[in-house]
């Protein structure tokens, strides 16, 4: 039987939406309103978000575009910049273009992170890292890619007086499936609290084509395992993760996998460790 006490603690911590009252239209409107009010109250000039072609960035991007349009309809000034951040050539570039067509962003900016990532990686190897690498070398380089993408987004946002959006949702948050200070870094997370299936429902309601809604989730960070599915890397299906987040009983083996990830990646969901907080269980930053 699922440990319902811990399950509820996790659901509360991650602000998981109530599946019994969930309504895609209402939830989309709530999140567009959140993004609109933030711009209105801060005076920032819009949002920046990296678009991969997956359902999360597609949903987040469309919500941001709608918020910026709403600000302009009020006489304000707001722009949504969708950034394409390929490492050289993205293998599923066609999917990214379909996502952009759906989002209809005010601007599209493309930055190839390849040269910068390769230069930094090679310099780090030459400085002495090479002897410490093992079969997970491409995993570590993949995290460099994720962090480089966020550097580019913050560079644009800083120069233009904008905020950077993140696509963290509840299913990725509970298992820590994001790079610390990479795609996990952002100013606002408009999808927070949504299980993966609920993100899909919102994306579908917003009018995305099924190819975008049902695209197999992949971080696509490891060159030796291109387009490896998230579920393969995690060892558990998002459907099961969503069931767990929505308070349902899940198989014991899957529950153990989810809880294992949740505890090991606690450091990703926490502020930097402080002296007084050192004894708290924050997980280990071994997998960043």
Question: By C-alpha distance, which of 251, 240, 265 is closest to 171?
Answer: 240
CB 245 within 8 A of CB 199: no
The residues facing 188 across adjacent strands are 165
Is 234 a member of any domain? Answer: no
Name the residues annotated as catalytic. 56, 172
Query: Read out DSSP for 98-112?
Result: HHHHHH--SEEEE--
Is 61 a member of any domain? Answer: yes
| Confidence (pTM) | 0.93
Number of domains in the chain: 1
User: CA-CA distance, 166 to 254, in Å (whole number)?
Assistant: 27
Is 162 a member of any domain? Answer: yes
User: CA-CA distance, 179 to 177, in Å (whole number)?
Assistant: 7
Is 239 a member of any domain? Answer: no
Look up the CATH number of the domain holding residue 133.
3.40.50.620
Is 282 a member of any domain? Answer: no
Is 119 a member of any domain? Answer: yes
* Packing angle, helices 238-245 and 4-13, rounded to 10: 90
User: CA-CA distance, 247 to 8, in Å (whole number)?
Assistant: 7
Provide the domain limits for residue 117: 15-229
Tell me how long the chain is. 288
Is 21 a member of any domain? Answer: yes
Is 148 a member of any domain? Answer: yes
Q: What angle do CA 11, 173, 193 make, to 5 degrees?
A: 50
**Tens of pLDDT along the chain (288 residues)?**
899 999 999 999 999 999 999 999 999 999 999 999 999 999 999 999 999 999 999 999 999 999 999 999 999 999 999 999 999 988 889 999 999 999 999 999 999 999 999 999 999 999 999 989 888 899 999 999 999 999 999 999 999 999 999 999 999 999 999 999 999 999 999 999 999 999 999 999 999 999 999 999 887 788 778 778 899 999 999 999 999 999 999 999 999 999 999 999 999 999 888 887 666 655 555 555
CB 152 within 8 A of CB 85: yes
């Amino acid at each position: 039987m699922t440990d319902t006490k811990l399950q509820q603690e996790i659901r509360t911590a991650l602000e998981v939406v109530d599946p019994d009252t969930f309504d895609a239209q209402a939830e989309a409107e709530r999140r567009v309103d959140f993004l609109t009010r933030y711009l209105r109250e801060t005076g920032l000039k819009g949002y920046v978000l990296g678009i991969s072609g997956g359902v999360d960035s597609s949903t987040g991007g469309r919500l941001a575009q709608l918020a910026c349009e709403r600000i302009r309809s009020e006489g304000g000034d707001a722009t949504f910049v969708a950034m394409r951040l390929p490492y050289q050539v993205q293998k599923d570039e066609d999917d990214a273009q379909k996502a952009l067509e759906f989002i209809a962003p005010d601007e599209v900016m493309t930055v190839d992170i390849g040269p910068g990532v390769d230069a930094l990686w090679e310099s780090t190897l030459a400085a002495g890292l090479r002897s410490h690498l093992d079969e997970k070398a491409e995993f570590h380089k993949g995290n460099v890619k994720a962090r480089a993408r966020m550097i580019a987004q913050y560079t644009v946002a800083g120069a233009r007086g904008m905020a950077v959006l993140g696509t963290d949702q509840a299913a990725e948050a509970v298992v820590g499936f994001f790079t610390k200070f990479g795609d996990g870094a952002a100013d606002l997370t408009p999808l927070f609290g949504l299980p993966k299936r609920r993100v899909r429902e919102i994306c579908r309601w917003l009018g995305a084509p099924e190819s975008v809604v049902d695209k197999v989730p992949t971080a696509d960070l490891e060159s030796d395992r291109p387009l490896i599915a998230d579920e393969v890397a995690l060892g558990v299906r998002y459907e099961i993760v969503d069931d767990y987040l929505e308070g349902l009983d899940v198989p014991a083996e899957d529950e153990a996998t989810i809880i294992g990830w949740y505890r090991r990646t606690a450091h990703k969901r926490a502020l930097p460790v402080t002296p007084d907080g050192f004894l708290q269980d924050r997980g280990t930053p071994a997998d960043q």
